[in-house]
Structure 1
Amino acid sequence: MKTLFATCLLLSLLLTFSLFQATSAAGFCGLKCKARCATAGMPDRCIKYCGICCLACKCVPSGTYGNKDECPCYRDKLSSKGKPKCP
């Protein structure tokens, strides 16, 4: 019985930790992308693609345009058409 309780406790702690990581990453990306896309002509689309890139790369360049050398992963992501994916 003690082993079952310990196993359940451990699994719940791991699940809580993984949910916390996903939430904090989404919060980080949301704030960074909102700032990055503040002057975009199509802010909803900009925030969507910025969020995809941020979750994959774990970074967003500073400013509203350019500065992509700060985050090589973000800079090098390409769409299926071979164009830059990240705003």
Structure 2
Amino acid sequence: MQAGGEGSLIANQCARACDFKCLTTSHKKLCLFFCNMCCRKYLCNPLGTFGNKEECPCFNNWKTLKDDPKFP
């Protein structure tokens, strides 16, 4: 399993992990909302503030209506 992979967190760790993940985005409120939703569902959060999305299915596969990645 990768370091930030599915099941690598417990539910109460999601808020802190998402605070860090969304630290550098200009859309912090939306990032936190969707990050926490993904994290609670899959119990994972990719490492770092950008990239590594392949570590967590929701972050890797979730797209905007324009088919762009939802997460940085």
Q: How many residues align?
A: 63
- Residue of structure 1 equivalent to 2:18: 33
Higher helix fraction (1 or 2): 1
Query: Which of structure 1's runs of 4+ aligned residues deviate more than 2 A?
Result: 77-87
TM-score after normalising by structure 1? 0.59
Aligned identity (percent) is 38
Which stretches in structure 2 are left out of the alignment for 5+ residues? 1-9
Which stretches in structure 1 are left out of the alignment for 5+ residues? 1-23
Report Cα offsets for 1:26-67 as digits up to 9, x if no partner: x21101000000111121111111011111221010110101
Are 2:46 and 1:61 equivalent residues in the alignment?
A: yes
1:83 Cα deviation (Å)? 3.6
- Residue of structure 2 equivalent to 1:85: 70
- Residue of structure 1 equivalent to 2:57: 72
The residue matched to 2:69 in structure 1 has which SS? coil
TM-score after normalising by structure 2? 0.69
